[in-house]
Structure 1
Amino acid sequence: MPARTLPTLVQAEVASHNSAKSCYVTIGTNVYDITDFLDSHPGGADLILEWGGKDITEILKDEVSHVHSEAAYEMLDESLIGFVATNKVIDAAVESKRPGNLVPVTTADGVNKTGKPVYLATGLSSAEDLSKETDLANDYKTHKFLDLNKPLLMQIWRGGFSKEFYLEQVHRPRHYKGGASAPLFGNFLEPLSKTAWYVVPTVWLPPVLYGTYIAREGCTSFRQEACYWVFGLFLWTFVEYILHRFLFHLDTWLPDNRVALTLHFLLHGVHHYLPMDKLRLVMPPTLFFVLAFPFWKLAHVVFYWNWHIATAVFCGGIFGYICYDLTHYFLHHRKLPAYWQQLKKHHLEHHFMDYQNGFGVTNRFWDRVFGTPLQSERVKLA
């Protein structure tokens, strides 16, 4: 029988195998499937099931309970099925300059039927996996996270999830049945959480055009207004990067409580959890207004000497946002020309491979400036 590479499993997956139908235990980073041994255990199956999905290093050595013999360890070796990817392992893979470290093993049979290597951080192997329909019942049974048949928001609020478990799960993308939107609120607020892509230019393009028109009155020439407007557009690319990295992906600094986790899920977590949801991909106008208002004030503080110039800069920035949200939508759902095809590859790799890097959506300039290119790009840059 040819040798096979044993899979690396995330902690949550190991922990979910804690029943008589499927019982895993770990010793250090080794994972053992001892389901078939349950009925043969001298102390009874119930004693083992108490430790299902957990590390048994200490209990095997416990003198009060029973110090296990070398024969017990040899029997365990026959049940070795893989290795657990601890946070330390995942963090080391993400920080590595070698993207191969993110794909250390091939998945077990039945986990990924394609046999392709899987990225530890997301559990996916390719962009195509983002749109493979999730088995809703099996996903909930396996991961014990969210039931996609029920409103999601209150499950986050009431779930009692740790920050570690929440981030591990929310960055493992699912695809709701038929590509429809999974229920978020489950009440009258549900329609407010959905926004079609064409709403963005419909709502924001007229104010941008009007603002650009009235800004002309306070500028000495068309060229001056155009320069400030383009400057605002350039500033948007920086704002886009900062918002995506430090607000939408506030993962490392996220407080470990349900308020923070629920807000994170509403703001961006739901997009990483269900990245192909067409109606929760662009920003609802009310949310963008809340985010844009401080920048309106800031523009008029910085350019205090000329209200019209500040307006021109702001309008250029808002046009940049319109381009960003439309680009974001089309990267997920349209075939695009060559340049945008490269952006599409870059952004989808952010989802299925390396969500802790690659924050630029309309461009990759600021990722290169601040040292956050995708792991696969770091080799090319080295």
Structure 2
Amino acid sequence: MPARTLPTFTTAEVEAHSTAKSCYVTVGNVVYDVTDFLDAHPGGPELILDWAGKDITEILKDEISHTHTEAAYEVLDDAVVGHLNTGKKAGANGYTKGDANSKSTGADYDSSDVDSESTAVHPRTGMSCEEDLNKETDFNSDFKKHKFLDLNRPLLMQVWFGGFSKDFYLDQVHRPRHYKGGASAPLFGNFLEPLSLTPWWLVPTLWVPSVSYGLYIANLGFVSTAHQVAYFGFGLFLWTLIEYALHRFLFHLDGYLPDHRVGITLHFLLHGVHHYLPMDKYRLVMPPTLFVVLATPFWKLAHALFYFDWSVATTVFCGGVFGYVCYDLTHYFLHHQNLPLWYKGLKKYHLAHHFLDYELGFGVTSRFWDTVFGTELNMTPVVKSQ
């Protein structure tokens, strides 16, 4: 049987838990949450808080400062919450991450505690396959362990007032959770809540008639239908590149995200909430208002590039919008439907982007641009027997 898999933390993340409300310490590369033990500590909470966010190996051994009995170590055993990401073997769960300076592709995880026939569990997310995304999250234990967001309360204001560092936020928001019963977790918690929920069928209902009308009026400027079809196909192809660019450079603007609550909150609202709750049926497609905001500059771009012919520019734009419709529907179905054989591979690929490596695998409708730009995701974690 696989050993229990715990999350990994950076040194900065551990150091961020240095208050009476959230107090982490380390012994070697094992991370402990001792918040609940502060008031029960025989020497008083102040002694622990002096070491909050730090390694306590030496102070535990220091007989002059304070003699620690076996009971103290038993308390620590019950308080384990994860491991320090040092690039070396991570204690009890036995996973070794590959070269710390290389991009993680899901491979090169080693385990002495996992049977050679079992599937490797990713040390960051604790997941081994796409089915894990559907496992309901225990709200209370998740919040107690990670001190991130309480799924019982509206999420957006928690992000705004959370005081999270960028590194801690990015690590946590890319550890997928699943809301109970497949329902939607509260985002705003007020009258704005319905605006954040978009059923998949709204996308074709709104935009397919709009595309059809645009093509109809643009057709008047073409000599032949074949000519218009060619430009429509070009717009459709152009969308695949736009899709890749938006996903990689806007939705995953992670490395360039300001370490400030404004940037973090906007990131969460735009795409972070989807990675935090990837199986939420009503936050899988783009709300109409957001699409209009993003589509407006592309309308202007199309007419700037093809300034010589309004009909050509409009047809190219309509091809792009139709590509967007295909993208949003594909995205929904990859998460929630059983698909034909070709799509099954695409589904596995996209969901691996969620639970395996969010820094790779940006293509949703295809892997083409991932292959072109070298961001293709290796989806097969390797387990090596010792």
| TM over 0.5, shorter chain | yes
Partner of residue 51, structure 2: 51
TM-score normalised by L of structure 1 = 0.82
The Cα of 1:306 is off from its aligned counterpart by 0.3
Q: Deviations over 1:215-247 (max 9, x none)?
A: 112122111111110000000000000000000
CA–CA separation in structure 1 for the residues paired with 2:284 and 2:128:
22
CA–CA separation in structure 1 for the residues paired with 2:295 and 2:39:
62
Alignment of 1:216-365 (within 5 A): 216-365=219-368
Of residues 238-247 and 11-20 in structure 1, the stretch that sits farther from structure 2 once superposed is 11-20
| Number of residue pairs matched by the alignment | 363
CA–CA separation in structure 2 for the residues paired with 1:149 and 1:41:
30
Q: Deviations over 1:108-139 (max 9, x none)?
A: 9xxxxxx8532133232221111111111111
SS at match of 1:374: coil
The Cα of 1:52 is off from its aligned counterpart by 5.5
For residues 133 and 33 of structure 1, do their structure 2 counterparts lie closer, same or farther at Cα, with a shift above 3 Å needed? closer
Alignment of 1:1-382 (within 5 A): 9-11=7-9, 25-31=25-31, 47-48=47-48, 50-51=50-51, 54-56=54-56, 66=65, 83-86=83-86, 92=99, 95-96=102-103, 99-101=106-108, 103-105=109-111, 117-376=120-379
CA–CA separation in structure 1 for the residues paired with 2:128 and 2:15:
22
Of residues 365-374 and 132-141 in structure 1, the stretch that sits farther from structure 2 once superposed is 132-141
Of residues 191-200 and 209-218 in structure 1, the stretch that sits farther from structure 2 once superposed is 209-218
CA–CA separation in structure 2 for the residues paired with 1:79 and 1:34:
10
Q: Percent identity?
A: 62
The Cα of 1:85 is off from its aligned counterpart by 1.7
Amino acid at match of 1:120: P
Please tell me whether the aligned partners of residues 107 and 118 of structure 1 are also in contact (alpha carbons under 8 angstroms): no
Q: Deviations over 1:330-349 (max 9, x none)?
A: 00000000111111000010
For residues 118 and 107 of structure 1, do their structure 2 counterparts lie closer, same or farther at Cα, with a shift above 3 Å needed? farther
CA–CA separation in structure 1 for the residues paired with 2:258 and 2:40:
45
For residues 147 and 366 of structure 1, do their structure 2 counterparts lie closer, same or farther at Cα, with a shift above 3 Å needed? same
For residues 43 and 147 of structure 1, do their structure 2 counterparts lie closer, same or farther at Cα, with a shift above 3 Å needed? closer
Q: Deviations over 1:124-162 (max 9, x none)?
A: 222111111111111111111111111111111111111
The Cα of 1:67 is off from its aligned counterpart by 11
Please tell me whether the aligned partners of residues 7 and 105 of structure 1 are also in contact (alpha carbons under 8 angstroms): no
Is there any run of 5+ residues in structure 2 with no aligned partner, and where? 89-95
Amino acid at match of 2:8: V
Considering fraction of residues, name the structure with more helix. Answer: 1
CA RMSD in angstroms, aligned pairs only: 4.1
The Cα of 1:106 is off from its aligned counterpart by 7.8
Q: Deviations over 1:253-272 (max 9, x none)?
A: 10000000110001000000
TM-score normalised by L of structure 2 = 0.81
CA–CA separation in structure 2 for the residues paired with 1:142 and 1:33:
8
CA–CA separation in structure 2 for the residues paired with 1:242 and 1:153:
26
Is there any run of 5+ residues in structure 1 with no aligned partner, and where? 109-114
The Cα of 1:79 is off from its aligned counterpart by 6.8
For residues 6 and 345 of structure 1, do their structure 2 counterparts lie closer, same or farther at Cα, with a shift above 3 Å needed? closer
